[in-house]
């Protein structure tokens, strides 16, 4: 199937005629190539989530409270940039043979790599206030570019295949890429930074962060190139043209959120899952250095934790085949919650901490991987419900929740450090140590309990129901009739 066929506007489908066949599978090489996108994304995204807090506080001398404010404000800013990015992408006309999403993704990924290095740069000679302003500006621009990279990347899966097994495979591929990047960033970044900086502090430490970030950014761009070159937009989609095509605005963004029940459940769930994961990643370096007394344990713990998570993610196709997406996600959250809560209430010990944090992180990585397939299903549900396909703006609505969750994680991480009296590069008080431990374990445990409740009771697009919807879309039907025959009207039900 050619890329031009996948993206060209299609007329209304005659009765009995199929636009697509969801039973057909796409080549495995395409599904693997898709995962390289999140592998590349992780080389740039995960650095900020895991190490910017420490870079700004310890290397640049910005106060923990100010860092909490930087993350909180910029992530909320980023969240509101997502609908803008989604609208711009969905409003694209004159789509060429490369497809609707892949060109935007690749160009933005190159710019994102540049901005990743900029965020880990602090010009010399700045005052404290000027450092804060620079950090705000650099990270806000980074977030805007990230929206134009991640929104088309996430939307791409929905037009590569509608087959549920393909989507589970792509969700696995994407999550393996994501956790693989976390693994490398968690194991290699601090040693690489230290090697470049020769173990010194001050300006040389900042220099180490800069060059380590540059290495990771170049690798990230190369991985996105693999995704760009190795994937195709295979699903034939009806695209309105001429007078029938209207530009998406904020009103359409709100409709997408409130008239798509499965998407709404995923948005709510993600607020808790992503804030739990990011808080874990941000606090690990602090926990290893101060609670366990050896920052050298950080890459070792991350290697074990994320290595096991990769193994767990490979189980997604098998688990979802036997238990379905919803049940697998819900019970994984339960297991992760129990492991994290035990880790908080048990005394700090390297062995028990590593075992329990590994179980908790793996149990979170599995449903986070399944979520990518669920989002593609929610995009199809939205088309079936309204008769109009809005991939990028739907994914942007989902990504909005991820940005808010990242802001929440930053508030928890840097906020706890500020409230409990953390002092950079010093012996910490028992209160500060307990704060680090609570952010590392107790907060994720409570978040996963809530996530299990949300997915169990509010997400109602199970595998059987999605199969019925996919069949309708394959035959060019939406809930109100034939796609493209007449103006689709929004429904008021969820």
Q: Quickly tell me which residue has 């173990």 as its tokens.
A: 199
If DSSP codes are grouped into helix, strand and coil, which group holds residue 481? strand
Q: Tokens 């994914």 map to which residue?
A: 395
Burial per residue of 64-84, b for 16 or more beta-carbon CB atoms within 10 angstroms, e otherwise: bebbbbbbbebbbbbbebbbb
Supply angle C-alpha 367, 316, 452, rounded to 5: 25
pLDDT at 243: 45
Instruction: Please state, in angstroms and rounded to a whole number, the distance separating the CA atoms of residues 373 and 369.
Output: 8
CB atoms within 10 A of CB 404: 21
Least Cα distance to 474 among 184, 162, 57, 226 occurs for 162
CA distance 166 to 373: 9
**Per-residue pLDDT at 228:** 96
In this prediction, residue 271 carries a pLDDT of 93
* pLDDT for 440: 93
Q: Is the dihedral of CA 251, 378, 94, 476 positive or negative?
A: negative
Q: Low-confidence residues of the chain, pLDDT below 70?
A: 1-21, 49, 198-204, 238-257, 484-494
Whole-number average pLDDT of the chain:
83
Chain length of the chain: 494
Instruction: Specify the pLDDT at position 492.
Output: 43
Pairing of the two strands 477-478 and 481-482: antiparallel
Compute and round to an integer the Cα radius of gyration of the chain. 22
Count the neighbouring beta carbons within 10 Å of the beta carbon of residue 375. Answer: 26
125 CB-side CA count, 13 A:
0
Do the beta carbons of residue 373 and residue 163 sit within 8 Å?
Answer: no
**By C-alpha distance, which of 230, 290, 296, 245 is closest to 425?**
290
372: three-class secondary structure by DSSP: helix
Distance CA 228, CA 191 (A): 31
Q: Which residues pair with 86 in a beta bridge?
A: none
> Residue 246's pLDDT is what?
54
Q: Which of 334, 230, 237, 344 is nearest to 280 (CA)?
A: 344
Among candidate residues 271, 326, 305, 185, the one with its CA nearest the CA of residue 443? 271
Cβ contact 235:159 at 8 Å: yes
pLDDT tens figures, 22-37? 778 889 999 999 999 9
Contact status, residue 484 vs residue 12, Cβ threshold 8 Å: yes
Question: In this predicted structure, what is the pLDDT of residue 14?
Answer: 52
Neighbours of 356 (CB within 10 A): 20
* Cα angle: 50, vertex 220, 368; to 5 degrees: 55
Tokens for 211, please give them: 């060059």
486: Cβ contacts below 8 Å, ≥ 6 apart: none
Between CA 184 and CA 42 the distance in angstroms is 9
Phi, psi for 210 (deg, rounded to 5): -60, -50
Q: How many CB atoms lie within 10 A of CB 360?
A: 28
- The pLDDT score that the predictor gives to residue 3 is 36
Closest CA to 377 of 253, 262, 471: 262
């Amino acid at each position: 199937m050619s890329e031009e066929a996948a993206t060209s506007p299609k007329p209304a489908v005659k009765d009995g005629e199929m636009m697509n066949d969801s039973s057909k599978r796409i080549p495995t090489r395409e599904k693997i190539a898709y995962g390289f996108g999140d592998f590349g994304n992780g080389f740039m995204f995960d650095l900020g989530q895991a190490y910017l807090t420490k870079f700004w506080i310890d290397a640049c001398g910005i106060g923990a409270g100010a860092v909490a404010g930087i993350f909180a404000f910029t992530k909320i800013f980023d969240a509101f940039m997502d609908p803008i990015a989604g609208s711009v992408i969905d409003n694209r006309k004159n789509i060429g043979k490369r497809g609707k999403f892949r060109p935007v993704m690749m160009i933005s990924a190159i710019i994102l790599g540049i901005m990743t290095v900029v965020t880990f740069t602090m010009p010399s000679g700045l005052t404290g206030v000027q450092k804060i302003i620079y950090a705000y500006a650099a990270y806000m621009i980074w977030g805007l570019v990230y929206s134009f990279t991640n929104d088309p990347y996430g939307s791409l899966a929905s037009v590569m295949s509608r087959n549920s097994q393909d989507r589970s495979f792509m969700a696995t591929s994407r999550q393996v890429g994501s956790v693989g990047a976390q693994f490398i960033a968690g194991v290699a970044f601090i040693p690489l930074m230290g090697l470049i900086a020769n173990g010194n502090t001050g300006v040389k430490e900042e220099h180490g962060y800069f060059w380590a970030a540059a290495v990771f950014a170049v690798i990230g761009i190369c991985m996105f190139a693999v995704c760009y070159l190795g994937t195709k937009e295979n699903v034939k989609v009806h695209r309105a043209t001429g007078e029938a095509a209207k530009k998406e605005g904020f009103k359409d963004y709100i409709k997408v959120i409130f008239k798509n029940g499965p998407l709404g459940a995923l948005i709510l769930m993600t607020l808790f899952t992503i804030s739990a994961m990011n808080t874990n990643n941000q606090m690990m370096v602090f926990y290893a250095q101060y609670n366990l007394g050896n920052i050298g344990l950080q890459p070792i713990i991350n290697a074990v934790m994320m290595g096991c998570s990769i193994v767990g993610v490979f189980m997604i196709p098998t688990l979802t085949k036997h238990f379905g997406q919803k049940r697998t996600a819900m019970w994984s959250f339960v297991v992760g919650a129990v492991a994290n809560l035990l880790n908080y209430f048990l005394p700090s010990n390297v062995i028990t901490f590593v075992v329990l944090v590994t179980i908790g992180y793996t149990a979170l990585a599995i449903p986070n991987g399944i979520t990518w397939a669920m989002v593609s299903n929610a995009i199809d549900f939205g088309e079936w419900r309204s008769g109009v396909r809005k991939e990028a703006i739907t994914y942007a609505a989902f990504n909005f929740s991820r940005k808010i969750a990242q802001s929440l994680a930053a508030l928890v991480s840097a906020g706890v450090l500020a409230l409990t009296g953390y002092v950079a590069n010093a012996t910490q008080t028992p209160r500060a140590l307990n704060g680090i431990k609570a952010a590392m374990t107790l907060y994720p445990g409570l978040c996963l309990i809530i996530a299990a409740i949300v997915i169990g009771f509010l997400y109602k697009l199970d595998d059987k129901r999605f199969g019925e919807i996919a069949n309708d879309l394959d035959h060019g039907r939406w809930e109100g009739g034939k796609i493209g025959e007449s103006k689709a009207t929004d429904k008021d039900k969820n």
